[in-house]
Structure 1
């Protein structure tokens, strides 16, 4: 580069370090996440295989609760998503994504419900 071109560029160097203050977790954190994941997988499996609850709808709701808990465990222990990592941008992106998913799913369910209610011939009464 010429001296004039080089003067216009900052010298950032070629260091491979990260400026991110978020940690990548220790062995203890990974083992805690692994044990919690195994527990959160085994409990729903046992609930289904031994038919502990008896009601399929309640069993499904309980399993969904365990699934949500497992998603949170994976996000914290394996994806290292917290308010400190990347200045909080990962949490903001997660909130935005969840908002879009909830709006999309709720809207789809609403449309399907009303299509079923208003368009199915078995619901139409003729005189």
Structure 2
């Protein structure tokens, strides 16, 4: 799980990666905040969340294997435990993380790349650029 704050809105964004499979049904995902459901991609799922909270959350699947929560935080500045549950085939996989939105980094392509991609991949991607700059 990779939490961060969006640049302009200062919304909490939590990305949850899961192994790519082609099991049917799925994948579907849901996010919980301190064990209460705040959003899901499961079709026809009834979410028992207040209307105000429902307006503040958005859960989406970014194919092939990423579940994303965007959450407009309240002004209470409390830390929360976010849980990502992914349904693939006939089983749920779950991952949790404690998040304090005041301490989160700003989301950017570079920070997400360094958190999710191996260092070797970023070295391989930058090597042709470095060689191109050094050669006449």
TM range (shorter): under 0.3
Instruction: Kindly name which structure, 1 or 2, has the bigger radius of gyration based on alpha carbons.
Output: 1
TM-score of the superposition, structure 2-length normalised? 0.22
Q: Which structure shows the higher helix fraction?
A: 1
TM-score of the superposition, structure 1-length normalised? 0.23
Q: Which structure shows the higher strand fraction?
A: 2
